[in-house]
């Protein structure tokens, strides 16, 4: 039996399932496939909007795009405005002035203009630090609103075609548009997600890559590559009205059960293998995404004809949470971010975040969303004025936050964001520059020098550059620094960072060393980052052993220089990035347990020490653990100074703190 009214309580239950899945994902539970709840929302939105539009056309034989957009704005914009403004205000006290507060104000502008997905498009959603962006989840609302902006254009065009060519023609045209859109944009989504390197090779994609927008990120954030999910819901809304469908009413329960199984399978698949088909730029499982879209569509379709089975979604707790689902979604992420910024992650924090998300969602639904949606608390103002008003408010907060965050930065860390120093290697050369193709270094020379020291490595070498130059010059050594982030300095054909750029850079650096003929070569690689995941066909233990083997090859390649060689290990690896953990409420950030911190790099550090000990021309390994850790804890901040610029790399101040240790190690190495 078909539903004749516009309201289906099982859809509210489906919304509840979707929002609860999102909470399970964002709150870092084992249900890592919970991000598929957003895809379920997209399908449901397409179905609901199409059903509403079809009823309006049946009733009036026309479609009012103004009324449609006004309803959408009344439904979506007030809640976004309330959450955005309150979160930005809360970020002043609870979040860091070095990134998080600025990001919150930027996202406020993005929320006001429904462009949050474009604001985030240059960043990988799955690898962003949660503390860096309390409004990150607004990307999906932006995609939804962009679909709503295009929807009236398509509907008006189809109505015009019906008036000119007749009902039958417009029906065929509608189905053609639906099917072609689903097929084409789904193919695009899968292609961009799986074959990113191939897409990168096309010249037409280069302008996006220049803006750090990869194919995988475009697939995730773009309304074009997400439109098939909305249109799948549109297809269901059209299908349930078709005459032939009434002949399959008895199969409604089968459709519903099949859909429920597909959704469960998709979430399970995405939880076990979140990104097994893809590279490191995304964790979206395209197979699971397609399964959940198909499953949600079947649940919506089966629920139209199988009221008995759909009752599983109409139990009171689910329908109530479904009513609140939009507000719960708006609140859950900023609540989580603010809690984990203020407290350490724990089961208690997860429970508190869940309870507060539902509580705040209920309150906003009760006193803001429902009254405004029903027309009780929003005066009749034009759509343009309403949107323009929010944009003005957003711009005001954006401008004000730039002043506020600067003052907070000065107070908690003695500096503004803009005053975070560039490393010496990032500044223009004051003297000559040494260049062999990709190997480039300024010459940091000293009067009356007694030789040359060279620092080589990845981003670790860059972050150590200030202290190294100071230490080398203090020992009357000229200094050169060759650094390529993401490229460890090893034998040129090493399996670690085997890109063409990295291989070429290594070859150029070896050629540079042969020409410079240094007394001392310091190697600084972010070792644990290359060995935290196994190489292809390797276990984790064998990968670490392979790192040791590659070091032996590197030492042997350096032996003809007859120079001293020294390994400099990275600083302790912190769980928390101080940039996101410092705030007015917590000026010193998080103190981490020494044993836990040092254990993160201990296995690979030990292998380096053992390998270096095999070669008489290799000096003892230099380690900085005791520089940042006492007997019990480790810290990233000394006084008002950041010693690290993120969870792994030394800041300029941290590098200079290490300079005396470097100088002493250099002196001992050259004395032998």
What share of the chain has pLDDT > 90, as a percent? 64
Q: How far apart are alpha carbons 133 and 336 in whole angstroms?
A: 11
- Comparing 245-249, 524-528, 554-558, the range with the smallest average pLDDT is 245-249
What backbone phi and psi angles, to 5 degrees, belong to 480?
-130, 150
Check residue 91 and give left, alpha or beta (phi > 0: left; psi -120 to 50: alpha). Answer: alpha
* Buried-state track 165-195, b at ≥16 Cβ within 10 A, e below 16: eeeeebeeebeeebeebbeebbebbbbbbbe
Q: How many domains does the chain have?
A: 1
Residue 256 lies in a domain: no
Q: What is the per-residue pLDDT for 148?
A: 96
Residue 528 lies in a domain: yes
User: pLDDT per residue over 466-510, tens digit each?
Assistant: 999 999 999 999 999 999 998 999 998 999 988 888 999 999 999
Residue 78 lies in a domain: no
Residue 525 lies in a domain: yes
What share of the chain has pLDDT > 70, as a percent? 92
Q: Is the pLDDT of residue 1 over 70?
A: no
Q: What is the per-residue pLDDT for 74?
A: 84
Q: Is the pLDDT of residue 323 over 50?
A: yes
User: pLDDT per residue over 429-450, tens digit each?
Assistant: 998 999 999 999 999 999 999 9
Average pLDDT over residues 175-201: 92
187 compared with 536, residue with greater pLDDT? 187
Residues 6 or more apart whose CB falls under 8 angstroms from that of 398 comprise 105, 106, 108, 109
At 349 the three-state DSSP class reads helix
User: pLDDT per residue over 279-292, tens digit each?
Assistant: 444 558 899 999 99
At 618, the pLDDT band (50, 70, 90 cuts) reads: very high
Expressed as residue numbers, the domain containing 568 is 420-574+594-627+652-671
Q: What is the per-residue pLDDT for 99?
A: 67
Residue 492 lies in a domain: yes
- Comparing 27-41, 81-95, 320-334, the range with the smallest average pLDDT is 81-95
Check residue 609 and give left, alpha or beta (phi > 0: left; psi -120 to 50: alpha). Answer: alpha
Per-position DSSP letters for 36-72, written without gaps between them: HHHHHHHHHHHHHHHHHHHHHHHHHSS--HHHHHHHH
- Comparing 172-186, 232-246, 312-326, 385-399, the range with the smallest average pLDDT is 385-399
The CATH number that applies at residue 452 is: 3.40.50.1110
Given a contact cutoff of 8 angstroms between Cβ atoms, the answer to whether 6 and 55 are in contact is: yes
Q: How far apart are alpha carbons 326 and 344 in whole angstroms?
A: 27
Given a contact cutoff of 8 angstroms between Cβ atoms, the answer to whether 398 and 103 are in contact is: no
User: pLDDT per residue over 627-647, tens digit each?
Assistant: 999 999 999 888 778 898 888
Q: Is the pLDDT of residue 278 over 50?
A: no
Strand partners, 642: 637
Per-position DSSP letters for 542-575, written without gaps between them: HHHHHHHHHHHHHHHHHGGG--EEEEBPPPPPPS
Given a contact cutoff of 8 angstroms between Cβ atoms, the answer to whether 656 and 614 are in contact is: no
At 79 the three-state DSSP class reads helix
Residues 6 or more apart whose CB falls under 8 angstroms from that of 17 comprise 37, 40, 263, 313, 318
Residue 316 lies in a domain: no
Instruction: Say what the pTM is.
Output: 0.78
Q: What is the per-residue pLDDT for 406?
A: 76
Residue 105 lies in a domain: no
666 compared with 200, residue with greater pLDDT? 666
- Comparing 29-33, 321-325, 362-366, the range with the smallest average pLDDT is 29-33
Out of 226-235, 344-353, 370-379, 528-537, give the one with best mean pLDDT: 226-235
Q: Is 335 exposed, middle or buried (0-12, 13-18, 19+ CB in 10 A)?
A: buried
Given a contact cutoff of 8 angstroms between Cβ atoms, the answer to whether 338 and 104 are in contact is: no
User: pLDDT per residue over 100-150, tens digit each?
Assistant: 666 777 787 888 788 999 999 988 787 777 777 899 999 999 999 999 999
Residues 6 or more apart whose CB falls under 8 angstroms from that of 421 comprise 651, 652, 653
Q: How many other C-beta atoms are found inside a 10 Å radius of the C-beta of residue 443? A: 15
Integer Rg of the chain from CA: 29
Given a contact cutoff of 8 angstroms between Cβ atoms, the answer to whether 411 and 584 are in contact is: yes
Average pLDDT over residues 61-66: 92
CA distances from 20 to 28, 257, 355 (A): 13, 20, 12
Q: How far apart are alpha carbons 667 and 643 in whole angstroms?
A: 24
Out of 246-260, 372-386, 480-494, give the one with best mean pLDDT: 480-494
Using DSSP bridges, classify how beta strands 592-593 and 633-634 pair: parallel, antiparallel or unpaired.
Answer: antiparallel
Residue 44 lies in a domain: no
Q: Where are the alpha helices (H) located in 195-315, listed in sequence order? A: 196-200, 206-210, 215-221, 223-239, 252-272, 286-305, 307-310
User: pLDDT per residue over 392-416, tens digit each?
Assistant: 777 787 777 778 887 887 777 766 6
Q: Is the pLDDT of residue 586 over 80?
A: no
At 570, the pLDDT band (50, 70, 90 cuts) reads: very high
Q: Is the pLDDT of residue 36 over 80?
A: yes
Across all residues in the chain, what is the average pLDDT?
A: 89
Q: What is the per-residue pLDDT for 112?
A: 79
């Amino acid at each position: 039996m078909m539903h004749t009214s516009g309201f289906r309580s099982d859809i509210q239950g489906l919304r509840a399932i979707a929002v609860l899945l999102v909470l399970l994902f964002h709150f870092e539970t084992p249900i890592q496939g919970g991000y598929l709840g957003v895809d379920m929302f997209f399908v449901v939105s397409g179905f609901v909007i199409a059903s509403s539009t079809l009823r309006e056309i049946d009733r009036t034989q026309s479609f009012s795009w103004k009324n449609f957009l006004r309803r959408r704005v009344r439904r979506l914009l007030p809640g976004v405005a309330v959450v955005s403004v309150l979160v930005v205000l809360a970020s002043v006290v609870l979040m860091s002035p070095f990134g998080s507060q600025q990001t919150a104000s930027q996202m406020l502008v993005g929320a006001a203009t429904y462009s949050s997905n474009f604001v985030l498009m240059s960043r990988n959603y799955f690898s962003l630090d949660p503390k860096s962006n309390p409004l990150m989840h607004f990307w999906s609302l932006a995609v939804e609103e962009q679909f709503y902006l295009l929807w009236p254009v398509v509907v008006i065009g189809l109505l015009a075609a019906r008036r000119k060519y007749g009902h039958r023609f417009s029906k065929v045209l509608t189905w053609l548009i639906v099917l072609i859109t689903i097929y084409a944009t789904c193919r695009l989504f899968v292609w961009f997600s799986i074959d990113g390197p191939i897409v990168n090779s096309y010249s037409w994609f280069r302008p996006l890559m220049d803006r750090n927008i990869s194919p995988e990120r475009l697939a995730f954030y773009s309304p074009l590559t997400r439109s098939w999910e909305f249109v799948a819901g549109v297809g269901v809304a059209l299908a349930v009205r078709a005459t032939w469908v009434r002949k399959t009413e008895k199969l409604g329960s089968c459709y519903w059960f099949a859909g429920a199984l597909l959704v469960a399978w998709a979430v399970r698949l995405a939880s076990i293998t979140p990104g097994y088909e893809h590279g490191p730029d995304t964790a979206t499982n395209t197979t699971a995404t397609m399964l959940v879209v198909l499953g949600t569509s079947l649940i919506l379709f089966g629920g139209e004809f199988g009221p008995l089975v759909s009752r599983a979604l109409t139990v009171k707790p689910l329908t109530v949470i479904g009513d609140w689902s939009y507000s719960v979604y708006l609140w859950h992420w900023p609540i989580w971010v603010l809690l984990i910024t203020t407290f350490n992650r724990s089961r208690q924090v997860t429970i508190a975040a869940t309870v507060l998300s539902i509580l705040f969602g209920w309150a906003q639904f009760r006193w803001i969303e429902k009254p405004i949606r029903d027309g009780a608390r929003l005066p009749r103002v034009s759509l343009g004025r309403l949107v323009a008003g929010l944009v003005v408010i957003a711009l005001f907060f954006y401008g004000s936050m730039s002043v506020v965050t600067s003052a907070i930065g000065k107070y908690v860390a003695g500096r503004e964001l803009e005053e975070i120093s560039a490393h010496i290697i990032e500044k223009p050369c004051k003297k000559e520059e040494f260049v062999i193709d990709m190997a480039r270094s300024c010459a940091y020379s000293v009067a009356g020098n007694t030789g040359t020291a060279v620092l080589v490595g990845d981003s670790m070498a860059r972050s150590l550059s200030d202290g190294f130059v100071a230490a080398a010059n203090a020992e009357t050594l000229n200094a050169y620094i060759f650094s390529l982030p993401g490229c460890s300095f090893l034998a040129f054909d090493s399996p670690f960072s085997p890109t063409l750029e990295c291989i070429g850079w290594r070859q150029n650096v070896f050629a540079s060393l042969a020409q410079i003929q240094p007394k001392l070569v310091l190697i600084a690689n972010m070792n644990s980052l290359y060995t935290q995941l196994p190489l292809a066909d390797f276990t984790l233990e064998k990968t670490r052993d392979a790192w040791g083997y590659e070091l032996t090859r590197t030492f042997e390649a350096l032996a003809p220089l007859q120079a001293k060689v020294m390994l400099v290990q990275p600083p302790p690896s912190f769980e928390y990035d101080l940039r996101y953990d410092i705030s007015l409420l917590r000026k010193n950030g998080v103190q981490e347990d020494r044993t836990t911190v040092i254990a993160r790099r201990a296995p690979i550090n030990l292998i380096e020490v053992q390998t270096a000990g095999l070669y008489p021309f290799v000096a003892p390994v230099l380690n900085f653990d005791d520089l940042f850790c006492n007997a019990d804890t480790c810290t990233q901040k000394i006084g008002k100074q950041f010693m690290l610029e993120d969870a792994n790399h030394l800041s300029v101040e941290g590098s200079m703190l290490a300079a005396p240790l470097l100088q002493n190690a250099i002196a001992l190495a050259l004395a032998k």
